[in-house]
Amino acid sequence: MAKPETPLLTRDEGLIIKALCIVIVMLHNYLHWRGFAAENEFQFYQERADAMWQMLLHPTLDLPLDFASHAVTYALVGFLFVSGYGLVKKYEHSTVSFSRWRFIGSHYTKLIRLLFLPMFLAFAAFWLVHDFWPLSWRDRLTELMLLGNLKYKNISIYPFVYWYLGMAMQLYLVYALLLRRRQNYPWWHQLLLLVLVASCGVAQMCCEPTGYAIYFMRVNMVGYIGPFVAGIVAARHLDHISLQSWQWWLMALASGIIMVWSLWHFYTWLWGWLPAAVFIVSFVKSCKFLRWRPIVRLGSISATVYIMHPIVRELVIGFTRNHIRMELLVYLVASIILAAGYAWLLRHIKKFR
């Protein structure tokens, strides 16, 4: 299939989305331990939504930090949208060969190699601060094998963030086994996308908002299939869209209002990923200044930033009690430097294999 001449997202725009989203994730993973707005990430607590609403009605200088802490779910939407979009571009809009089992095996081993060293460093950082090991070695080994999300009665993602890699691997499996488009593209394949997203959404709607069932779904692919499929659909069908800057701004404004409004009710919260995906894309398309090379570069190492920043977080939270903005500056800069070093190490290991 010929590659479209004007893609909805260029490679740099995809990296910019990753850069913005990783900063929000990093802020959230620090701020919610410092007493800022509690999140509704895996379960929905109405009192948390109401508290965030009151912060919006009575804003202070901490409002951006509170919002980043509360609305972290929509940062994950950006990652997953770009992931689905990128898979289509790489394996459906190019001449790159695709083998289902090679695809699954390579992504699985890649994620484990990515996680191996940081998990041990995170263990060491946690022990240095708290003087005890988090959970058991068996639990951490299961998490290292990207299977920890599947333990229905014993899931604990504290103190790290590595549950996301297990969930991402599930989405790779779904793409390889069900969603990848072949040359003969039957009509029922598009129906399959709709049914998959709708069934996962309805399953969550049937759950108690603060119950364990929805928590289990939202640390697994059920909670995040929507933005991933949205990225796939966008890559296949929306590359012809070409809007002027003011039109992207208008779309960003409208979708942003809907996205923020969706935070305050359980059912709209479940489907808020859709306006969030529209907002993220239209915001990046409309903001030309975001194409600054350091931002693009940050997006290119977002994976290593994601897995390395919990190490820095444990140390900064454990050993500093400065002004919150100074703590954040140290935390963000140190995390990015450490992640850049790890990305360099991984590149050189791969080069000499």
H/E segment holding residue 274: helix 273-286
> What token pair was written down for 46?
């109405």
Compute CA 33 distance to the chain's CA centroid, rounded to the nearest angstrom. Answer: 19
pTM higher than 0.75: yes
Amino acid in the structure at residue 307: I
Domain range annotation of the chain: 11-351
Look-up of token digits 């800022």: 36
Q: Which of 120, 126, 165, 111 is nearest to 140 (CA)?
A: 120
Give me the half-sphere count of Cα atoms (radius 13 Å) on the Cβ side of residue 106: 7
197-245 per-position pLDDT tens digit: 999 999 999 999 999 999 999 999 999 999 999 999 999 989 888 889 9
Dump pLDDT digits (tens) for 10-26.
Answer: 999 999 999 999 999 99
C-alpha span between 251 and 280 (Å, rounded): 10
Residue 300, pLDDT score? 96
CA 276 to chain centroid: 12
In the chain, how many H helices and how many E strands?
16, 0
Name residues of the chain where pLDDT drops below 70: 1-5, 132-135, 152-160, 183-186, 351-353
What pLDDT score does 153 carry? 66
Residue 344 CA, distance from chain mean position = 22
- Looking at residue 151, its amino acid is K
Q: Which residue has tokens 């129906």?
A: 191
Return the axis-axis angle of helices 46-57 and 63-70, rounded to nearest 10°. Answer: 160
Taking residue 35's Cβ as centre, other Cβ atoms within 10 Å add up to 9
CB 154 within 8 A of CB 344: no
Structure tokens at 280: 């993220």
Q: Given the structure tokens 């022990």, which residue do they identify? A: 127
Cis peptide before 209 (omega within 30 of 0): no
pLDDT at 156: 61
